[in-house]
């Protein structure tokens, strides 16, 4: 089976890679492009509801090991590009149903884009990413390697969805269905944003950043193998909390913190509804 073959090749690198090895890697990339293999996928039995597929990450990493740097330049002076031969840009046709607006976006081979995805320039989607049907990746947005973005999400301008390629057992960033990620947000280090959540502009989420839930009176944080999880329907804004000790208190300093101010309601839905005419 493909997972076993990838595990063996990754764990026992040969002195030189053969045509059979490159064919094996191509099978991984084909599966990623088709959405048949994912770096992480829903799993109700997992504590976070998601399971990491380490063999897929190993397959992606093999591509970097195996590939030689080649000239991919559109023009040797105006647009010089030099990258691994194993990771050219993704080939997309009109039949894919993906809308790529002209203006300098880049999508790496080995990622999945569902039907109806809209890519506004310039944006970047890295290898191993999975983007669900009807999602919008706005200008200057990043979808990092192995990041999982659900259906009908809006990743707003300049938002950064960090990927987690290494270590292979670590959960990548996951944005579930119908999430709005506001402009200039950053979601990193395996954070899980559950469906229908709203991240206001400028919200930063990391494994070491606690989230203060004013609506439910609790503090959310990553623990052990469980990532930071933003609950379903949560509306998160950028906030601050006072430093209560030492010089921080003396100087009147505050630290950044994300704050859940409420959970989605009809008023929220009306404000964030995407304009169908743009799609």
How do residues 12-68 score in pLDDT, each as one tens digit? 999 999 999 999 999 999 999 999 999 999 999 998 999 999 999 999 999 999 999
pLDDT at res. 269: 73
pLDDT grade, residue 8 (50/70/90)? Answer: very high
pLDDT at res. 117: 98
pLDDT at res. 224: 85
pLDDT tens-place string over residues 248-261: 999 999 999 999 99
pLDDT grade, residue 246 (50/70/90)? Answer: very high
Dump the DSSP string for 23-62: HHHHHHHHHHHHTSS-SEEE-TTSTTSEEE-HHHHHHHHH
Burial label, 2 (beta-carbon count in 10 A; 0-12, 13-18, 19+): middle
> Is the pLDDT reported for residue 274 higher than 60?
no
pLDDT tens-place string over residues 152-181: 999 999 999 999 999 999 999 999 999 999
pLDDT at res. 272: 67
pLDDT at res. 276: 55
Q: Does domain 2-69 have CATH number 3.40.630.10?
A: no
Between 268 and 115, the higher pLDDT residue: 115
> Is the pLDDT reported for residue 277 higher than 70?
no
Token pair of 182 as six digits: 């506001």
Average pLDDT of 190-201?
97
Rg (CA), the chain: 20
Share of the chain above pLDDT 70, in %: 96
Average per-residue pLDDT for the chain: 94
pLDDT at res. 265: 85
Dump the DSSP string for 161-225: E----SSTTSPPPEE-TT-EE-TT-EE-TT-EE-TT-EE-TT-EE-TT--EEETTTTEEE--BTT
Omega of the bond prior to 260 within 30 degrees of 0, cis?
Answer: no
Between 128 and 277, the higher pLDDT residue: 128
**Total-model pTM:** 0.94
Share of the chain above pLDDT 90, in %: 91
pLDDT at res. 278: 56
Q: What's the CATH number for 97-269?
A: 2.160.10.10
Helical (H) or strand (E) element with 270:
helix 266-272
Sorted by where each begins, the domain ranges of the chain are 2-69, 97-269
CB 229 within 8 A of CB 211: no
CA distance 149 to 176: 6
């Amino acid at each position: 089976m493909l997972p076993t073959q990838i595990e063996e090749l990754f764990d026992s690198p040969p002195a030189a890679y053969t045509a059979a090895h490159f064919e094996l890697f191509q099978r991984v990339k084909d599966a990623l492009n088709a959405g048949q293999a994912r770096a992480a996928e829903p799993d109700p039995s997992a504590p976070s509801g998601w399971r990491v597929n380490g063999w897929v990450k190993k397959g992606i990493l093999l591509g970097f090991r195996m590939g030689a740097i080649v000239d991919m330049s559109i023009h040797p002076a105006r647009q010089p590009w030099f990258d691994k031969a194993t990771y050219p840009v993704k080939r997309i046709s009109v039949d894919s149903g993906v809308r790529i607006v002209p203006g300098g976006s880049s999508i790496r081979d080995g990622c999945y884009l569902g039907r109806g995805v809209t890519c506004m320039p310039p944006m970047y989607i890295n290898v191993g990413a999975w983007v669900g049907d009807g999602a919008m990746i706005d200008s200057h947005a990043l979808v990092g390697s192995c990041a999982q973005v659900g259906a009908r999400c809006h990743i707003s301008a300049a938002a950064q969805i960090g990927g987690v390629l290494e270590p292979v057992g670590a959960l990548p960033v996951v944005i579930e269905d119908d999430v709005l990620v506001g402009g200039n947000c950053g979601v990193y280090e395996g954070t899980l944003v559950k469906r229908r959540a709203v991240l206001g502009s400028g919200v930063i989420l990391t494994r070491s950043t606690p989230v203060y839930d004013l609506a439910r009176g609790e503090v959310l944080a990553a623990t052990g193998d469980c990532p930071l999880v933003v609950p379903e329907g949560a509306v998160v804004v950028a906030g601050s909390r006072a430093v209560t000790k030492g010089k921080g208190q003396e100087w009147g300093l505050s630290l950044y913190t994300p704050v859940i101010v409420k959970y989605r309601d009809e008023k929220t839905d009306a404000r964030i509804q995407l304009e169908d005419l743009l799609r």
